Amino acid sequence: MDLHKEGDRGSAKQKKVKIVFVIGGPGSGKGTQCKRIAQQFGYTHLSVGEILRQEISSGSETGSMIQKIMKEGKLVPSDVTVRLLQQAMQGINSDKFLIDGFPRNEENVKAFEDLTKMEPEFVLYLDCPQDEMEKRLLSRNEGREDDNIETIRKRFKVFMESTLPTIEYYESKGKIRKVNHKFMIFFYC
């Protein structure tokens, strides 16, 4: 993927873009840990959830569609998510990205790899029990529309059915770095 905008081809060599995906169930601490890692290791943190919420806030037709899907606790179509993620990456002058909340399913993996022709360096998997995640979500008080018990339980179900196979896929490629929810392990990026 060429992250440089048209006309921005001053150097003969393009830097290799380093991507780390951060996945875990809803409330596993992805955003919190990504902020720490980005600060410590100089990554640009992109939250796919935040990118989707920004699109909703824009009032666009795509944003309205995303809002309806998220309210139901379902996953936004891969082509929409990857397009918005790619736009966000292209809009930032960085070659190190920490992408939180992505991929959510095998279709996301395929869409990302097909569109960008890239794979992550590795995938950080934040392993956290469901009861702990539920407790965190209900107490975080961010006022998010999708932080109610009914939607939270739907999100857990989607995570178990859709995201766990993605973790297995990356595990088979030797790219999973699993972190227990009680410990933050510092690693070299």
- Mean per-residue pLDDT of the chain: 85
- Positive or negative torsion for Cα 131, 132, 135, 138: negative
Tokens of 181: 């929810």
Measured N-to-C along each axis, helices 164-172 and 106-116 cross at an angle, to the nearest 10 degrees, of: 50
What are the helix (H) ranges across 5-158? 30-41, 48-57, 61-71, 78-90, 106-116, 130-139, 149-158
In percent, how much of the chain has pLDDT > 70? 84
| CATH among 1.10.2020.10, 1.10.1060.10, 3.40.50.300, 3.40.630.30 for 18-184 | 3.40.50.300
| pLDDT at residue 9 in the model | 40
- Render pLDDT for 97-135 as a digit per residue (tens, 0 to 9): 999 989 989 999 999 999 989 999 999 999 988 888 888
pTM above 0.85, yes or no: no
- Which two three-digit tokens encode residue 69? 């899907």
Beta partners for 97?
19, 44
| CA separation for the pair 98, 1 (Å, rounded) | 16
The separation between the first and the last C-alpha atoms of the chain, rounded to the nearest angstrom, is 20
The structure tokens listed for 80 are: 């929409």
Q: Is the peptide bond before 103 cis (omega within 30 degrees of 0)?
A: yes
Judge whether 106 and 165 are in contact, CB under 8 Å: yes
Residue 189: what pLDDT? 43
Is pLDDT of 14 > 70? no
H or E element that contains 165: helix 164-172
Q: Residue 37 pLDDT more than 80?
A: yes
